[in-house]
Amino acid sequence: EPGAERDGHMRVVRSPWSGLGMRSLQLFSMAVTLEVSVGKTPVVTALNNTKVQLSCIFTTCMGFEDLVFTWYYNSTEMIYRGKIKNKASEPKIVYSDPRVQLIGTTTGKENNISISMFVDFSDAGKYTCHVRNPKEKGAEHNATITLRVVPEMVPVDNTLTLIILAVVGGVVGLLILILVIKKIVLLVLKRSQGKKKECLVSSSGVDNTENGLAGSRADRKAPPKA
């Protein structure tokens, strides 16, 4: 039976896109009757130890009767199986992994057979949603979601952001500090130079007698230079 099921998948999955040849017409008409879809995001990323939703819906033009849908983990391990009598009824559980919960409903607009479960790292892998409709000569279709489980990524990202901010902030702070120190040093130098000038001016201004001495000193110093 697994082999037959797989052949069924291959035929139906390939048919909508297998080209425009005459041979595909029959397969195409078969595919439009039963379609299984996991939406636009076949890859789901979940945090370790969080509840994840695995979405799946199916559509059928002919309607359905005693339809069986099954969720497989990594192609082989059945984690949920439900049976739906017809469009007016909700699914009945045939088998359920204790951690899996059916969250979809089939009496609404969509035939929603989504499940949810708490996941940890060991649950990463492929989740296949498979549907078999006896009303369509046992037509089958499936779609697969890839689940990635990651360690809590928000704190990691925050840490990285904080490190970058700290480095950038540190560099900017250092530059500002250097500029401030430079300003202060220049100011101090200017002031001390100004004071020196003032001192020279005041001393030269007050003490006229010193001028002579200074001059004589300069004169005395001059000979070795020349």
Ligand X SMILES: *[C@@H]1O[C@H](CO)[C@@H](O)[C@H](O)[C@H]1NC(C)=O
110 near ligand X, judged by CB under 6 A? yes
Binding span for ligand X by CB under 6 A among 21-29, 104-112, 129-137, 202-210: 104-112
Site string for ligand X, 183-202 (x = CB under 6 A): --------------------
57 binds ligand X (CB under 6 A): yes
> 131 to 170, contacts with ligand X by CB under 6 A?
151-152
Residue 104 binds ligand X, judged by CB under 6 A: yes
* Bridge partners (DSSP) listed for residue 84: 67
CB distance 130 to 27 below 8 Å? no
**DSSP label of 99:** T
Q: Which residue from 62, 100, 56, 63 is spatially nearest to 84, judged by alpha carbons?
A: 63
Considering beta carbons, is residue 2 or 108 the nearer one to ligand X?
A: 108
> Based on CB atoms, which residue is closest to ligand X, 78 or 103?
103
Please give the distance of CA 39 from its chain centroid, rounded to a whole number: 18
97 binds ligand X (CB under 6 A): no
Q: Where are the beta strands (DSSP E) in 21-110?
A: 34-37, 43-47, 50-54, 57-60, 67-73, 77-84, 92-96, 101-102
Is the Cβ of residue 24 or residue 48 nearer to ligand X in the bound state? 48
Dihedral of the CA atoms 33, 39, 42, 46 (nearest 10)? -140
Token look-up 């391990």 returns: 77
In terms of CB distance, is 10 or 93 closer to ligand X?
A: 93
Interface with ligand X by CB under 6 A: which residues?
48-49, 55, 57, 103-104, 110, 112, 114, 120-121, 151-152
